[in-house]
């Protein structure tokens, strides 16, 4: 199938990006935010959202300047064949790293939570199978699947959030400013890399109907993700208290375990695990597909399908590389997220260069 498959509309795009980004909230990211901000962890999330939205604007402008093209073609046009390809390879490398770390985190979390004695390679293999098949079916199919599964995932999330509201004690959110406004602001900005996966939107730019669809998907998706992050962080602080919440590798799972309504609505976390699996599968599949498409575009291949299997093997081997779970957590926090800021800046760079060299249509084409 060629690179520009798909005709994604804005509703599907928003849902796709939202699920793709929000899937990470089930992992240790809220813990990062709460460690950084203390009882003001949700403010860190707020700063992160605003910063991400602002940083994404140049990417949107870039996409509108080159309607109907993916980032690979854009960067080749703007920065020339060598530098352009190098930039795209950089992005793809980062996305691969993100996939690896997220996949490993998810596998570890499922092992910790649900299936303690299963070897991680089996769980990873199952997930990679889903990723391969999703990429094989195409971006359009992924969008449709997410559309169908979206109500299910939202119900899962809402059950966990709403049924834990009685446990929230507002007092736990004080002192209000947590670790202090400067710390909050700085950490918020440093964690903007959490939303960096939105750059895959650009890699897949050819699959969207119009560039304004891309803009809506990106902005609205990041906004919704930010709101969910704020809500979840606030809830976690309210239920667990900041010190305890900062130590949760799988906070949503622990929240789900606490759901106890009446005597019968309890112990539902195994069911909710299914819904989180969907979100995680969507997240990984979108990133994987974006890598395949981006690589194919930057190497001037007309089809991306031949790249699926080699990339899958690559991911499978990379996933087993970190020795233990703490290495994954630390690498993610100390390396991937800061690099993510750089990744978010690449479209900005390209935009500047495009403006200087006067490539592409005018910026207000839509």
Q: Is 165 in the site for other proteins (CB under 8 A)?
A: no
Nearest to 291 by CA among 318, 317, 310: 310
Structure tokens at 217: 């998907």
Among 54, 121, 129, 299, binds other proteins (CB under 8 A): 129
Nearer to other proteins, 105 or 298 (CB): 105
Nearer to other proteins, 112 or 300 (CB): 112
Nearer to other proteins, 172 or 337 (CB): 172
Residues 243-272 that bind other proteins (CB under 8 A): 243-244, 254, 257-258, 260, 263-264, 266-271
Q: Is 326 in the site for other proteins (CB under 8 A)?
A: no
Residues 37-56 that bind other proteins (CB under 8 A): 38-39
Terminal Cα-to-Cα distance of the chain (whole angstroms): 26
Structure tokens at 81: 């064949």
Q: Is the preceding omega at residue 229 within 30 degrees of 0, hence cis? A: no
Q: Is 330 in the site for other proteins (CB under 8 A)?
A: no
Among 67, 68, 97, 138, binds other proteins (CB under 8 A): 138
Nearer to other proteins, 184 or 351 (CB): 184
Q: Is 177 in the site for other proteins (CB under 8 A)?
A: yes
Nearest to 13 by CA among 194, 158, 150: 150
Q: Is 155 in the site for other proteins (CB under 8 A)?
A: no
Three-state SS across the chain? Answer: CECCCCCECHHHHHHHHHHHHHHHHHCCHHHHHHHHHHHHHHHHHHHHHHHHHHHHHHHHHHHHHCCCCCHHHHHHHHHCHHHHHHHHHHHHHHHHHHHHHHHHHHHHHHHHHCCCCCCHHHHHHHHHHHHHHHHHHCHHHHHHHHHHHHHHHHHHHHHHHHHCHHHCCHHHHCCCCCCCHHHHHHHHHHHHHHHHHHHHHHHCHHHECCHHHHHHHHHHHHHHHHHHHHHHHHHHHHHHCHHHHCCCCCHHHHHHHHCEECCCEECCHHHHHHHHHHHHHHHHHHHHHHHHHHHHHHCCCCECHHHHHHHHHHHHHHHCCCCCHHHHHHHHHHHHHHHHHHHHHHHHHHHHHHHHHCCCCCCCCC
Q: Is 13 in the site for other proteins (CB under 8 A)?
A: no
Among 116, 302, 324, 356, binds other proteins (CB under 8 A): 116
Site string for other proteins, 200-239 (x = CB under 8 A): ---------------------------------------x
Structure tokens at 161: 């959030």
Q: Is 325 in the site for other proteins (CB under 8 A)?
A: no
Q: How far is the CB of 140 from other proteins (least distance, A)?
A: 8
Q: Is 321 in the site for other proteins (CB under 8 A)?
A: no
Q: Is 189 in the site for other proteins (CB under 8 A)?
A: no
Among 89, 161, 167, 301, binds other proteins (CB under 8 A): 167
Q: Is 119 in the site for other proteins (CB under 8 A)?
A: yes
Among 93, 97, 141, 301, binds other proteins (CB under 8 A): 141
Structure tokens at 228: 């969910």
Using the rule CB under 8 A, give the single segment among 173-181, 225-233, 288-296, 317-325 that binds other proteins. 173-181
Using the rule CB under 8 A, give the single segment among 21-29, 48-56, 132-140, 328-336 that binds other proteins. 132-140
Enumerate binding residues for other proteins (CB under 8 A): 7, 9, 11-12, 38-39, 110, 112-119, 122-123, 126-127, 129-130, 133-134, 137-138, 140-145, 147-149, 167, 169, 171-172, 174-180, 239-244, 254, 257-258, 260, 263-264, 266-271, 273-275, 277-278, 281
């Amino acid at each position: 199938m060629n690179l520009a498959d798909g005709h994604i509309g804005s509703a599907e795009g928003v849902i796709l990006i939202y699920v793709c980004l929000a899937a990470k909230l089930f992992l240790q990211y809220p813990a990062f935010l709460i460690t950084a901000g203390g009882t003001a962890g949700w403010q860190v999330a707020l700063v992160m959202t605003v910063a991400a939205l602002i940083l994404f604007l140049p990417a949107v402008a870039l996409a509108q300047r080159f309607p109907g093209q993916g980032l690979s073609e854009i960067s080749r046009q703007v920065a020339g064949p060598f530098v352009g390809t190098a930039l795209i390879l950089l992005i793809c490398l980062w996305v691969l790293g993100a996939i690896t770390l997220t996949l490993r985190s998810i596998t570890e979390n499922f092992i910790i939570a649900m299936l303690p004695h299963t070897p991680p390679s089996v769980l990873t293999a199952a997930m990679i199978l889903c990723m391969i098949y999703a990429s094989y079916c195409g971006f359009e199919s992924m969008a449709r699947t997410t559309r169908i599964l979206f109500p299910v995932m939202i119900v899962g999330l809402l059950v966990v959030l709403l049924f834990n509201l009685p446990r929230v004690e507002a007092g736990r959110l004080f002192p209000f400013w947590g670790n202090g406004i400067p710390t909050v602001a700085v950490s918020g900005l440093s964690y903007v890399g959490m939303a960096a996966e939105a750059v895959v939107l650009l890699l897949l730019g050819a699959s969207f109907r119009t560039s304004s669809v891309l803009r809506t998907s990106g902005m609205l998706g990041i906004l919704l993700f930010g709101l969910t992050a704020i809500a979840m962080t606030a809830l976690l602080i309210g239920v667990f208290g900041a010190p305890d919440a900062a130590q949760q590798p799988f906070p949503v799972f622990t929240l789900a375990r606490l759901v106890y309504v009446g005597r019968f609505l309890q112990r539902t976390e195994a069911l909710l695990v299914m819904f989180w699996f969907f979100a995680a599968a969507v997240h990984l599949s979108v990133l994987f597909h974006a890598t395949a498409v981006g690589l194919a575009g930057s190497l001037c291949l007309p089809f991306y399908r031949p790249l699926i299997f080699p990339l899958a093997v690559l991911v499978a081997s990379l996933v087993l590389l970190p020795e233990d779970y703490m290495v994954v957590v630390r690498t993610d926090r100390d390396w991937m997220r800061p690099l993510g800021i750089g990744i978010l800046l690449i479209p900005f760079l390209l935009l500047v260069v495009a403006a200087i060299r006067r490539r592409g249509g005018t910026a207000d084409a839509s």
